Structure 1
């Protein structure tokens, strides 16, 4: 008597062998000899052919058929298609280090993991994944490799304000708490405060910025 794993292997092999069945989008599960087919086929005829192919495998006690017919013009929203589309979009996006990020899709919910060097890379990956058709949600488990250095962040802020506003940023103070940067002190205008916050976000390892900068009287 075949085990469930042996039966699953045989059903998959039979589906792949049957020329009238495109098995790429068909999933096979087996529990105590009961075979469940799930996923998509491109026609009703293909659905019937898949069912017949599974039934003729020796050892199949019963068949639960959950296949859906999806035509060529329908959106490609199977989990593996969503995952591939996300990977393709990562490769085309220069802001995303695709080799450092892993993608998992389950029932349309995307989970991103891996390690990157910059917070903007993590944010961009999340935004790209969320735009793919068929995605119902995105879980972001990506971590930022480096931790920010307070003096580096301060130097960036001072240089940015000097470069963009031709103003002195010496009164801005910077503290770090893990990957969080805490800004305080005072500047002369809202524009300088925005420059300081953008400069903090651009520093390596920053995943959160707490802006407590006030405007000088």
Structure 2
């Protein structure tokens, strides 16, 4: 009976799993017209040849394209699934990152982060942490902020920041919001007052963008 490509793929995977000399966890198998392509990583050249022999044993296999790479235990781990696991491990230990609300996908070293958090700093910290992992070639931060910016909350934070420094008048700062964007206006006496207002706005939950139009006068 002629086997289909999907049946051959299953049989080859089963044979690799059955062979005790092979750690098959990082080996992938694809089949087109009876030609089997092996890819992934093994820890030694002996494993590589053993995988090829195991695939050839399967009835119906016409040819082997062996693209398996040998990566010794001392080599840096840069397979996509290994990168993803290390990122998740970092998230689990970083108290600033709500790990249960962020999803990680890795393709050829490029990391895509999705999910929803309450604070911008959580999104920024997740992207920063992911970017530090060896093997990462780039990070797309698509994490959404779940709470919209609130004028009363931002006003309170700016007032508190100004109160901590004598002589600053928070009432001179105007605030407007549109979704997650905050626009600051008004006039302050010094540059550091402008910076205080902007930092306080960024610290408010739900803020993803701050446009600072405050004038120094």
Report the TM-score range of the alignment, normalised by the length of the smaller protein: over 0.9
SS of the counterpart of 2:164?
helix
Whether the 8 Å CA contact 1:22–1:41 is kept in 2: the answer is yes
5 Å matches for 1:155-166? 155-165=156-166
- Deviations 1:131-170 (CA, angstroms, capped at 9, x unpaired): 1000011111111111101222112111111124552110
5 Å matches for 1:101-120? 101-120=102-121
Give 1:131's aligned residue.
Answer: 132
Whether 1:3 aligns to 2:10 is no
Whether the 8 Å CA contact 1:179–1:205 is kept in 2: the answer is yes
Give 1:72's aligned residue.
Answer: 73
Give 1:43's aligned residue.
Answer: 44
Distance across 1 between alignment mates of 2:147 and 2:5: 47
Q: TM-score, normalised by structure 1?
A: 0.95
Q: What displacement does 1:214 show?
A: 1.6
SS of the counterpart of 1:170?
helix
Distance across 2 between alignment mates of 1:189 and 1:59: 79
Whether the 8 Å CA contact 1:129–1:138 is kept in 2: the answer is yes
What value does the CA root-mean-square deviation take over the aligned residues? 1.2
Give 2:180's aligned residue.
Answer: 179
Question: Structure 2: 5+ residue runs without aligned partners?
Answer: none
Distance across 2 between alignment mates of 1:80 and 1:108: 9
Q: What displacement does 1:63 show?
A: 1.3
Distance across 2 between alignment mates of 1:178 and 1:13: 53
Task: Decide whether aligned partners of structure 1 residues 121 and 165 sit closer, same or farther in structure 2, where only a CA change above 3 A counts.
Answer: farther
SS of the counterpart of 2:116?
strand
Name segments (4+ residues, structure 1) moved above 4 Å: none
Q: What displacement does 1:10 show?
A: 1.5
Give 1:151's aligned residue.
Answer: 152
Whether 1:90 aligns to 2:91 is yes
Task: Decide whether aligned partners of structure 1 residues 144 and 165 sit closer, same or farther in structure 2, where only a CA change above 3 A counts.
Answer: farther
Give 2:55's aligned residue.
Answer: 54
Q: TM-score, normalised by structure 2?
A: 0.95
Q: What displacement does 1:4 show?
A: 2.1
Q: How many residues align?
A: 216
Distance across 1 between alignment mates of 2:208 and 2:82: 30
Distance across 1 between alignment mates of 2:141 and 2:166: 35
Q: What displacement does 1:2 show?
A: 2.1
Q: What displacement does 1:34 show?
A: 1.7
